[in-house]
Amino acid sequence: MAEGGTIVTQAFTVPREKLRQELDPRSLPFDSTAELQPLDGIFGQKRAVQALAFGLSVKSPDYNIFVTGPTGTGRSTYTQKAVHQRAGHEAVPDDWCYVYNFEQPYEPIALRLPPGVGAALARDMEHLVEELQQRIPKVFESEDYQKSKERVIKQFQEKSNALIEKFRREASAAGFSLQRTPAGFMAFPTVEDRPLKPEEISRLDETSRQQLEANASAVENKMQELGRHLRALEKEAQEQVAQLDKGIGYYLVSLPLSDLKGRYREFPQVVEYLQAVQEDIVENLDDFRTANEQQNPLDFLFQRTKGEKITKYSVNLLVDNSKQRGAPVIIETNPTYYNLTGKIEYKGQLGLMMTDFSMIKAGALHRANGGYLVLFAEDILRQPAAWDALKKALKNQEVSIENMAESYGLIPTASIKPEPIRLKTKVILIGSPVIYNLLYHLDEDFSKLFKVKVDFSADMDRTPANIANYAAFIASHCRQAGLKHFSAPATAKLIDYSTRLAEDQGKLSASFNKMVEIICEADAWAQVDGAPQVEASHVVKALEEKEYRSNKLEERIRELIARGDILIDTRERVIGQVNGLSVIDLGDYQFGKPSRITARTYSGKEGVLNIERESRLSGRIHDKGVLILSGYLGGKYARNKPLALSATICFEQSYDGVEGDSASSAELYALLSSLAGVPLYQGIAVTGSVNQRGQIQPIGGVNRKIEGFFTVCKLQGFTGNQGVIIPRQNVKNLQLKDEVIEAAAAGKFHIYAIDNIEEGLEILTGLPAGEPDAAGNYPKGTFNYLVNKSLEEFAAQLRFHRPWSWLEEEQPAGIGTEGS
């Protein structure tokens, strides 16, 4: 029995060689990582690599991929690299274009063409328009055309003049003369070649006046007939000019378009489109001729410019794969609704938003068509309507371009409805396990569309092969980033740190991001020292400095403990009091912190009361752990008598909340100590959860917890008997710091591993726990004897002070006492 009342048994003490897994630098077959070949690919992720390869090989449309796993495991980097490698060996997908629909102008037509053909068609149509813009005005301004047009006009004028002269003669014979006005011809009566005055007409006799009126009526009828003949002649002349224009236009357009039709004869859709272009240009030759002066100065408000009119003959090259090598891989880091599905742009005109097919813009789904689209789940879920748009495209296997505001009817616009484009792409989503589980359970479409799960592990086995791969990984990063190479001892130190991150002596961490941080920071310290390569001391320095930059709160808590503001005792023996251990997680840094746990017990029937729960400072898991204590006490000590116990448990000076069950064994020790009246040695802290049978169960953060209590013991002074009790299952998780291991080797600090509550009681109290005999009685002088004796006394006190309460509880249902 040692000072402080502890029994230090070799069976419970963890030997020094089990406190940390250490790699012997001499086992590494190199002196410097500069000697190693760079790492090709990823290692330690066999399951994920195979799953990704399978997902990429399946061509069925619903076999999209969700890549998950902890951040920093290389899931994004490797996925993108693997997708690029596979895409490089696949066929280049087709081009996609939008062209004007001459039959339905508001429904642009989508053309699918082999890679490079879309770009060629766009260039050819641009050259065609430029050529026609030059040739058509020249022809219509040429002397030959003017002569041909003048002949038609001259014929019209000769015929119209003949009709007019004939009518003039007939009118003259009837006593009327003609006068041309802007509105047409006007006839008026004459006498001796001069117009009759109104007073002269009024002086005519009745017969002469009737004759004049009859002649006037006849002249009027002939004048109307003349107008009809003149309009017919004018229409005929216009038609002749139009036919002349069309003939010339057809000749000018047919030659270059015939060449284009021959060039694209393998594509019926293109030939059909070119034919429609030819017919439309011939019908709208004025769009290519020199603009006439506008008669109305306001006409410009209602007419499109010449450039806008000929835009319909252009080709909107939506997706150009002419320079693509292999299948496209699109990594969309801002997956908004429009960035995914494309958009229709607008421009203001007369207070309205106008658009046409040339203002259709491609989205990531269009660019990834025939290839791969890589998205980050968290990004797309944050964007309004983006997730639904992606699912719709994948379910329908087509991409429809429509503006979100228009689809919801938010903005009245003159819009178009582009023809949907067939979609054949594989989507790779990258996200956390939490997002995967939420989507799988809450979105019924998710499991149908993303049938391949690629799950990256947080760690890997610590095998010779993975150790060698880790060294090659260090060498690769040093070469890529231009850093100093690592010596064998520095590499071994870094690999041991990887095991500490994994919190398992048989594992290595797959958190490559965290390892890269230490590689870079160790290189920086080697640079400061002017060392030719990174040594183990530089790795240690990097780890220490990284911790120092983040442990401000930890040092503040140490200061409060040292000043006595936070009450922690590491020397005395106290009844109903024990030091529990917890981990404070700041995100980038975690550290262990001891907490005083106290218990008070007394006669009663309320059972164990959790003060944290009553004050709403505890979580559900912690509440469950406290309830388990009642199960243990009843099963252990109240099999032949009622449990007449009231007790309170409290985490002293805890105001931020308590969660988890890793302190349930410490809480039970405090309860039992209070019941037995036996003090617990405060120099030994406790961590571990307990079940109703008293078995100790493993917990997380064991290294941080041990080191946190070690720091406090160091601060208050070592006694040689201090230490920590941990579950035996956690021995494999030990990867302690050098100073803890050195203190343990020197006998200043001890790590005890136990399997059950009784073993911990013996360490904390120095008393044997005691086993019951056949009658359930414990040997005198044992800890359990004292606990059982206290409970019997509590029961007797309760019977004496509340005799009827026992009877009421023990009576069968329906049996009572009168007058009660």
Show the tokens assigned to 485: 């190479």
| Measured distance CA(564)–CA(580) in Å, rounded | 17
Residue 138 pLDDT grade (very low, low, confident, very high; cuts 50, 70, 90): confident
Q: Say if residue 29's pLDDT is above 60.
A: yes
Give the pLDDT score at 728.
Answer: 96
Q: Could you tell me if 192 and 236 lie in one domain?
A: yes
Task: Answer yes or no: do 583 and 623 share one domain.
Answer: yes
Q: From CA 68, how far away is CA 785, in angstroms rounded? A: 54
Structure tokens at 68: 């998950």
pLDDT at 209: 67
- Buried residues in 411-438 as b, exposed as e (16+ CB within 10 A): eeeebbebbebebebbbbbbbeeebbee
Residue 168, token pair as written in the block? 């003039």
In order, the DSSP letters of 243-288 are HHHHHHHHHHHHHHHHHHHHHTTT-HHHHHHHHHHHHHHHHTGGGT
Beta strands in 611-729 (DSSP E): 646-651, 679-681, 684-686, 689-690, 696-697, 722-727
The pLDDT assigned to 717 comes to 95
Same structural domain for residues 195 and 265? yes
Q: What are phi and psi of 803, to 5 degrees?
A: -60, -40
Q: What integer is the mean pLDDT of 398-424?
A: 79
445 shares its domain with 469: no
Amino acid at 444: E
- d(C-alpha 237, C-alpha 239), whole Å: 5
Q: What are phi and psi of 701, to 5 degrees?
A: 70, 30
Instruction: Label the pairing between strands 426-430 and 65-68.
Output: parallel
User: Are 202 and 343 contained in the same domain?
Assistant: no
Tokens of 217: 């009526």
pLDDT for res 253: 82
Tokens in use for 160? Answer: 């119209």
Do residues 245 and 368 share a domain?
Answer: no
- Give the pLDDT mean for 176-187: 68
The rounded distance, in Å, linking the Cα atoms of 450 and 457 is 20
pLDDT for 634 equals: 80
pLDDT of the residue at 394? 97
Give, as one character, the DSSP assignment of residue 324.
-
What SS3 state is found at 183?
coil
Distance CA 134, CA 141 (A): 11
In this prediction, residue 308 has a pLDDT band, given cuts at 50, 70 and 90, of low
pLDDT at residue 3 greater than cutoff 60: no
Is residue 480 scored above 80 in pLDDT? yes
Nearest to 98 by CA among 82, 112, 84: 112
The vertex-775 CA angle with 770 and 781, nearest 5°, equals 30
**Helical ranges in 484-535 per DSSP H:** 488-502, 512-529
**Average pLDDT value for residue range 322-348:** 93
CATH number of domain containing 509: 1.10.8.60
Q: Average pLDDT, stretch 372-388?
A: 96
d(CA 449, CA 653): 52
Integer angstrom CA distances of residue 701 from 88, 650, 704, 716, 731? 45, 22, 5, 23, 12
Q: Is residue 574 located within the same domain as residue 533?
A: no
Query: Is the residue at 688 inside a domain?
Result: yes
Whether residue 703 contacts residue 736, with contact meaning beta carbons closer than 8 Å, is answered with: yes
**Who wins on pLDDT, 699 or 232?**
699
Instruction: Say which CATH number the domain at 405 has.
Output: 3.40.50.300
Check pLDDT > 60 for residue 211: yes
Strands 360-361 and 421-422: unpaired
CB 681 within 8 A of CB 7: no
List, in sequence order, every residue forming a beta bridge with 723; answer none if it has no partner. 684, 750
In the predicted model, is pLDDT for residue 315 greater than 50? yes
Question: Any idea how long the chain is?
Answer: 820
**Last residue of a domain, which of 550, 582, 600?**
550
Structure tokens given for 519: 């590689």
Q: With contact defined as beta carbons under 8 Å apart, do 87 and 66 qualify? A: no
Is it the case that residue 291 has pLDDT exceeding 80? Answer: no
* Cβ 718 vs Cβ 588: under 8 Å: no
Q: Exposed/middle/buried for 816, CB within 10 Å: 0-12, 13-18, 19+?
A: exposed
Question: What does the CA dihedral 82, 88, 93, 99 come to, rounded to 10 degrees?
Answer: 90
* Average pLDDT over every residue of 256-282: 92
Kindly report whether the global pTM for this prediction surpasses the value 0.85.
no
Model confidence at 484: pLDDT above 60: yes
* First vs last C-alpha separation in the chain: 55
Single out the residue in 259, 287, 315 at which a domain terminates.
287
Between 516 and 254, the more confident residue is 516
User: What is the model's pLDDT at position 586?
Assistant: 92
- Residue 807's pLDDT is 47
Lowest pLDDT segment from 26-35, 176-185, 383-392, 513-522: 176-185
pLDDT-based confidence at 655, cuts 50/70/90?
Answer: low
pLDDT at 102 over 50: yes
Mean predicted lDDT score pLDDT of the chain: 85
Selection from 703-707, 789-793, 811-815 with the highest mean pLDDT: 703-707
What is residue 327's predicted lDDT score, i.e. its pLDDT? 96
Does residue 1 fall inside a structural domain? no
Task: Looking at the structure, tell me whether residues 427 and 341 fall in a common domain.
Answer: yes
Instruction: Tell me the residue range of the domain where 463 lies.
Output: 31-41+458-550
**Number of folded domains that form the chain:** 4
Of the candidates 424, 431, 423, 533, the one whose C-alpha atom is nearest the C-alpha of residue 478 is 533
Note the pLDDT of residue 814: 37
7 part of a folded domain: no
Calculate the CA dihedral of residues 766, 772, 776, 781 and round it to 10 degrees. -40
DSSP run (H or E) holding 112: strand 109-113
787 in any annotated domain = yes
- pLDDT-based confidence at 292, cuts 50/70/90? very low
Q: Does residue 529 belong to any structural domain of this protein? A: yes
* Residue 110 belongs to some domain of the structure: no
Phi and psi torsions of 329, nearest 5°: -125, 110
Higher pLDDT, 149 or 506: 506
Which residue has better confidence, 236 or 663?
663
d(CA 92, CA 86): 12
- Do the Cβ atoms of 783 and 767 come closer than 8 Å? yes
Under 8 Å between Cβ of 418 and 344:
yes
* Same-domain status, 726 and 801: yes
Measured distance CA(338)–CA(681) in Å, rounded = 67
C-alpha triplet 732, 736, 742: angle, nearest 5°: 120
- Do 802 and 664 lie in one domain? The reply is yes
Residue whose structure tokens are 């029994």: 7
Q: Would you say residue 555 lies in a domain? A: no
In this structure, of 209-218, 441-450, 456-465, 532-541, the range with the lowest mean pLDDT score is 209-218
Mean pLDDT of 747-757: 96
Sign of CA dihedral 786, 788, 794, 796: negative
**Does residue 439 share a domain with residue 368?**
yes
pLDDT of 160 over the 80 cut:
no
Per the DSSP assignment, residues forming a β-bridge with 750 are 723
- Helix, coil or strand: residue 401: coil
Cα angle, residue 270 at apex, residues 268 and 276 outer, rounded to 5°: 105
**Cα–Cα distance, 88 to 325 (Å, whole number):** 7
Q: What is the DSSP string of 562-628?
A: HHTSS---SS-EEETEEEEEEEEE-SS-EEEEEEEEEEEEESSSSEEEEHHHHTT-B-HHHHHHHHH
| Nearest to 41, CA basis, from 72, 79, 89 | 79
Mean pLDDT, residues 397-402 taken together: 93
| pLDDT greater than 50 at residue 810 | no
Instruction: Using alpha carbons, list the distances in angstroms from residue 102 to 106, 108, 312, 520.
Output: 9, 9, 9, 63
Of 456, 481, 510, which one is at a domain's C-terminal end? 456
Give the count of alpha carbons within 13 A of 503, CB side only: 12
Lowest mean pLDDT of 166-180, 508-522, 571-585, 690-704, name the range: 166-180
Q: Which of 9, 6, 73, 23 is nearest to 463 (CA)?
A: 23
- CA dihedral angle for residue 228, residue 230, residue 232, residue 238, rounded to 10 degrees: -150
CB atoms within 10 A of CB 276: 16
Q: How much is the pLDDT for 142?
A: 67
Do 609 and 733 belong to one domain? yes
Assigned domain for 519 exists: yes
